[in-house]
Amino acid sequence: MYYLRELRAKKCVSQQTIADYLGITNQAYSNYENGKREADYETQLKLAEYFGVPLDALFRGAATSGRTYRVPILGTVAAGLPIAAQQDIEGHTYTTLNGGAEYFALRVKGDSMDRAHIPNGCLVIVRQQERVENGEIAVVIVGEENGTVKRYKQEGDTVQLVPVSFNLDHETQVHKAGDVRVVGLVKQIQIEP
């Protein structure tokens, strides 16, 4: 999916050098380069910055072919304290993401993720999945119906939902693992004009 091997060869650096830059293991980076795992949106931004290319230059196929896929906008999710998740389809948007996975979009309310380039009012394109890696940005349900988008970190029976914000009033939320259900991984951000 990514042109990472070609970009790395042009820059004449090792996988370990890039893994160190991203703060991940060499194996995790290798999985991105070999197409075994897709990088989350924030990691994609870091990779594009590292290689000095536009975000679209990281991708093969759909992202460069111009082909788009329609995904439903399923309401609003909090980028702040969890709020009651809305499940009403309010319309549709389009994305170049595909890969056979199920995608949906949510409108972000709040500023707790603005430092991760997820501002209030934007749309996040989410790949529906029940698990994410520590450090990835996920949409989760806390309790029965409170949804939020945060950096996810689990240690044993505890889940931390970490804000990535310029607003220092936002604090890490700590929950029992059984009280948090992952809905999906944030894969793309759409900022409407």
Note the helical H segments in 52-193.
62-65
> What pLDDT score does 193 carry?
53
Average pLDDT over residues 105-114: 90
Report how far residue 34's alpha carbon sits from residue 53's, in angstroms, rounded to the nearest whole number: 19
Q: What is the DSSP string of 170-188?
A: ---EEEEGGGEEEEEEEEE
Name the residue with higher pLDDT: 104 or 10.
Answer: 104
148-175 tens-digit pLDDT: 999 999 999 999 999 999 999 999 999 9
Using left for φ > 0, alpha for ψ between -120 and 50, and beta otherwise, residue 87 falls in alpha
17-70 tens-digit pLDDT: 999 999 889 888 888 887 777 777 778 888 888 887 776 666 543 333 456 778
Tell me phi and psi for residue 97, to 5 degrees: -70, 145
The residues that are catalytic are 112, 150
Report how far residue 106's alpha carbon sits from residue 102's, in angstroms, rounded to the nearest whole number: 14
CA–chain centroid gap for 8, Å, is 23
Using left for φ > 0, alpha for ψ between -120 and 50, and beta otherwise, residue 10 falls in alpha
Work out the pLDDT band at 192, boundaries 50, 70, 90. low
